[in-house]
Amino acid sequence: MTEEDLLYFKDFFLSYVEKFRSNDETIQKNIMLKKHHTLRVLENISIISKNLQLDENSDLLAKTIAIFHDIGRFYQFEKYKTFSDAQSENHAELGIKVLESAEVLSRLSKEEKTIILKAVQYHNMFKIPSNEESKYILFCKLIRDADKIDIYKVLTDYYGELDLDLNPAIEHNLPNIEHYSPIIIDDILNSRNSNSKLLRTRYDMRLLTLTWIFDINYKISIDLIKNRDFINKTLKVLPTNEDMTKVKVALYSYMENF
Ligand SMILES: [Fe+2]
């Protein structure tokens, strides 16, 4: 693919998002949230790709994946008013439908198109399917890191706001009660990802985001997470107790040893 193709995809994305412009303040706010998220994921993936010294074609493919990874989010929010896949539909599958029905990738080779669709499809899975071919796995890893780094930014910016009920969609409308599931603490202390079916409260969701560290693929991504202080900013909106002290020690030692 070429730089010109990338510009075409970026234009397609921006005009696609425009179609969702709404007079409803909640819808408009969340559409813009995902638009800006996408543009920052594009910046993140560019940093990672440069750090890994990817060849030009791979770099352009990675950037295209970033632009399209959440294209299903706009229809999802318009229709269901939530970003929770469990409460609506899988937004990655929705995204693939959007890309296929618009035939936007038809200017690329069959192989390039497959790389992009697989990366979009796998970007939000608990794990990349272990039987997938290695030539596709690189791109899945890139988008998963770039995406998580920006979700940390969106969430921790939100935690910094005075009123955490300004946009409850960000935390999937989970109840704001002072309880968390011990199993997620256990997962963190054992360097394991947690399964999102466990989510009951906002504390669970915040702890779950901390387990994403164990799914980060590249040192540069760990460095970005560390430098932007996302872990401490998340711990600030969790209780102060012995569990959380252990969680902090476990996460920092994991990052140090990465
Ligand atoms: Fe996504």
**Domain identity same for 132 and 203:** no
Going by C-alpha positions, the residue among 20, 44, 21 that lies closest to residue 218 is 44
132 & 220 share domain: no
Q: How far is the CA of 69 from the centre of ligand 1 (A)?
A: 6
The chain-wide mean pLDDT, for the chain, equals 94
Q: Decide if pLDDT at 51 tops 70.
A: yes
In a domain? residue 163 = no
Q: pLDDT-derived band of residue 141, with 50, 70 and 90 as boundaries?
A: very high
Q: pLDDT tens for residues 170-195?
A: 887 888 888 999 999 999 999 998 87
- Ligand 1 center to residue 66 CA distance, Å? 10
Domain containing residue 21: 3-149
- Is residue 84 included in any domain, yes or no? yes
- Rounded to the nearest whole angstrom, what is the distance from the C-alpha of residue 232 to the centroid of ligand 1? 24
Give distance in angstroms: CA of 34 to centre of ligand 1: 9
* Ligand 1 center to 125 CA (angstroms): 9
pLDDT tens digits for range 5-50? 999 999 999 999 999 999 999 999 999 999 999 999 999 999 999 9
- Listed residue (252, 199, 58) closest to 136, CA to CA: 58
Q: Is residue 233 pLDDT above 90, yes or no?
A: yes
Assigned domain for 105 exists:
yes
124 and 61 inside one domain:
yes
- 245 CA distance to ligand 1 middle (Å): 30
Taking the centre of ligand 1 as the mean of its atom positions, its distance from the CA of residue 31, in whole angstroms, is 13
Query: From ligand 1's centre to the CA of 202, what distance in Å?
Result: 19
β strands within 110-251, DSSP E: none
Q: Report residue 122 as tokens.
A: 């796998």
Distance 92 CA to ligand 1 centre (A): 6
Please name the residues in contact with 176: beta carbons below 8 A apart, sequence gap of 6 or more: 164, 165, 201, 202
CA of 146 to the centre of ligand 1 (A): 11
Examine residue 157 and state whether it is found in any structural domain, yes or no.
Answer: no
- Asked whether residue 45 falls in the same domain as residue 144, the answer is yes
Compute the average pLDDT of residues 63-89.
95
pLDDT the model gives residue 208? 94
Please tell me the distance between residue 124's alpha carbon and the centre of ligand 1 in angstroms.
6
Q: Are residues 63 and 121 in the same domain?
A: yes
In the chain, the number of structural domains is 2
Can you give the pLDDT at residue 118? 97
Residues 9 and 131 occupy one common structural domain: yes
- Using alpha carbons, select from 65, 120, 61, 64 the residue that is nearest to residue 95: 120
Sign of CA dihedral 136, 92, 117, 223: negative
Q: Name the band, by pLDDT with cuts 50, 70 and 90, for residue 237.
A: very high
CA of 241 to the centre of ligand 1 (A): 32
Structure tokens at 70: 């959440």
Q: What confidence score (pLDDT) does residue 196 get?
A: 67
Which of 39-43, 148-152, 158-162 is least confident? 158-162
Instruction: Judge whether 223 lies within some domain.
Output: yes
198 CA distance to ligand 1 centroid (A)? 19
Q: In 41-78, which positions are buried (b, 16+ CB within 10 angstroms) versus exposed (e)?
A: bbebbeebbeebebeeebbbbbbbbbbbbbbbbbbbbe
pLDDT of residue 24: 93
Instruction: Check whether 203 has a pLDDT greater than 70.
Output: yes
46 with 7, same domain: the answer is yes
Evaluate whether residue 164 is within a structural domain.
Answer: no
Give yes or no for residue 86 having a pLDDT over 90: no
**Is the Cβ–Cβ distance between 251 and 177 less than 8 Å?**
no
Query: Which tokens belong to 83?
Result: 């970003």
Average pLDDT over residues 240-251: 97
